[in-house]
Structure 1
Amino acid sequence: MRAIVLSLTLAAPVAAQDLQSPQDFANIEDETARSEALFEEMGKVITHPRCLNCHPVGDRPTQGDDMTPHMPPITRGPDDHGPDGLNCTACHGDENQAFNSSPGSIPGHDPWHLAPVSMGWQGLTLSEICTQLKDPERNGGRDLEAIHEHMAEDGLVGWGWHPGEGRAPAPGSQELFGQLTRAWIDTGAACPD
C-alpha cells in the first residue's frame, strides 16, 4: 500500500471579522442603498478564504488562509469532485481530520467538492460576484429563495464556520449570514457598484 505524504505549510489564521446584523443597516432609508450595504456586509464572508478556496475561476482549488494552490496539485475534474481516479473524497472525508504529528487538519464534509466553474469568484469584484450570484445561468439554476437556502442552510457552506485546526473561520456565523442574505433579498437584492 502506498502512502501519500502531504507537506503543508500552515499560515497564521486570518483575524476574525465580525459581521453586522441586518438591524445595523436599518438607518439607511434608501432601500437600494441598504440592499447594497447588506451585500457588502455579506461580502466579508463571500470573499473570505473559506469561500474563495472552493470557488476558483480556473480548474485548481486553493487552500489555507493564504489561498495557496492546492497540494497535492489537484484539478476540478469533469464533475467538480476531482479528477477521475482521485476524487476530492480520496483525501477529504466526512469531517475534518486533525493531523497526528503536527498542528493542522485536512478539511472534510460530506459532500466535499468545488463550486462549478460558472460560480468561480476568485479575482472578481464584489459587484461581479453579486451579478453572477443572481444569474440562474451561472448559479446552478437558483432563484433568490434557493440562494437564501444555500447560504443559510447548506452544510458545505456551513463548514466555513467550522474549518478545523489551522484555519480561521468565516466571519460571524451561518445563521447571521443567512439573516443578512434574507435582508438583502427582501430589500431588492441590489448589487453594489
Structure 2
Amino acid sequence: MRLAIAILAMMLAACSPRVDPQKQAQALQAFATVEKVFQHPRCSNCHIPGDAPLQFDTQQPHMMGVVRGPKGEGAVGLPCASCHGEANLPASYGPNAPPGAPHWSLPPPDQKMAWIGVPTAELCAMIQDRKRNGNRDLEAMFKHVAEDKLVLWGWAPGGNRQPVPVPHDQFVAAFRTWMDAGAPCPQAPARG
C-alpha cells in the first residue's frame, strides 16, 4: 500500500507544472506594481464599491450628486458625457476643469471592479475573474490596460491632477511579467 501511494505521489509530481521560485518571486513583485497603479486615485476613483464616483487625489465624493447609473455612464438625464468630453479641456479652463477621455464612464453596476481597500490577494483574483472584470481573459485585460484611451488618461490627467506614479510602459511590462508567469496571486494573510 505504501509503495502504491509513493508511486502515485511521484506520478502526480511529475505531471504537475514546475514552479520556478525565482519566476514566481518576479511575478509577485510585478503584481505589486500592478496593484500600485490600480489603487491610485486615477483608477480607483471610478472603480468604487458603491454607486457614487470619487474625485481628486483626496477621493472626495463627486460633486453634483453624480452616480453610476444603469450602464455605468451616469444617471439618466445626467450622463458622464455632460461634463466629461473626449479629451481634457485646455489649461485656460482652469486647473479643476472636468477631465476628459473617450468613453468616460464607470464600470457597469453588475461588474463594478471595485478595488478600493481590497486586499492584495483579492484584487489579484478579481482581475482574473471574468465574472467581475468585464468578461475579459488575461490577454483582453492586458490589452485594456495597455491600449484603452480612458485607462491611458491616468497618465495624462490634465489640470492639477497627479498622474499615476508608475510610468505606463513600466506598468504594462509589470502586467505582462505577472501574466506570463501564470498570474500568481499573493497569499492572503492567515487569520489568527
Q: TM-score, normalised by structure 2?
A: 0.81
Shift of 1:175: 2.3
Shift of 1:100: 4.9
Name the residue aligned to 2:5: none
Aligned amino acid, residue 43 of structure 1:
E
Name the residue aligned to 1:76: 68
Q: Is 1:145 matched up with 2:139?
A: yes
| Partners of 1:61 and 1:76 within 8 A in 2 | yes
Q: Which shifted more, 88-97 or 116-125?
A: 116-125
Q: Is 1:162 matched up with 2:138?
A: no
Gaps of 5+ in 2: 1-19, 188-192
Aligned amino acid, residue 171 of structure 2:
F
Give the whole-Å Cα distance in 1 for the aligned partners of 2:155 and 2:66: 24
SS at match of 1:105: coil
1:171/1:101 CA distance change after superposition, 3 Å: closer
Give the whole-Å Cα distance in 1 for the aligned partners of 2:51 and 2:122: 19
Q: 1:129 aligns with which of 123, 128, 132?
A: 123
Q: 2:165 aligns with which of 154, 168, 171?
A: 171
Shift of 1:135: 0.4
Bigger Rg, structure 1 or 2: 2
Shift of 1:127: 1.8
Deviation string, structure 1 residues 49-91 (Cα, Å, up to 9, x no partner): 0000010111010000000000111110000000001100000
Give the whole-Å Cα distance in 2 for the aligned partners of 1:98 and 1:127: 40
| Partners of 1:52 and 1:122 within 8 A in 2 | yes
| Partners of 2:28 and 2:178 within 8 A in 1 | yes
RMSD of aligned alpha carbons: 1.7
Name the structure, 1 or 2, with higher relative contact order (CA <8 Å, separation 6+). 1
Deviation string, structure 1 residues 97-154 (Cα, Å, up to 9, x no partner): 2475643321101110002342111221222111111001111111111111011111
Q: Which shifted more, 92-101 or 124-133?
A: 92-101
1:135/1:101 CA distance change after superposition, 3 Å: closer
Name the residue aligned to 2:177: 183
Query: How many aligned positions are there?
Result: 166
| Structure 2 counterparts to residues 22-171 of structure 1, below 5 A | 29-98=21-90, 100=92, 102-117=94-109, 118=111, 119-171=113-165
- The sequence identity of aligned pairs, in percent, is 43
Gaps of 5+ in 1: 1-27
SS at match of 1:149: helix
Deviation string, structure 1 residues 139-177 (Cα, Å, up to 9, x no partner): 111111111101111111100000011100002332221
Give the whole-Å Cα distance in 1 for the aligned partners of 2:90 and 2:61: 21
Shift of 1:29: 4.9
More helix by share: 2
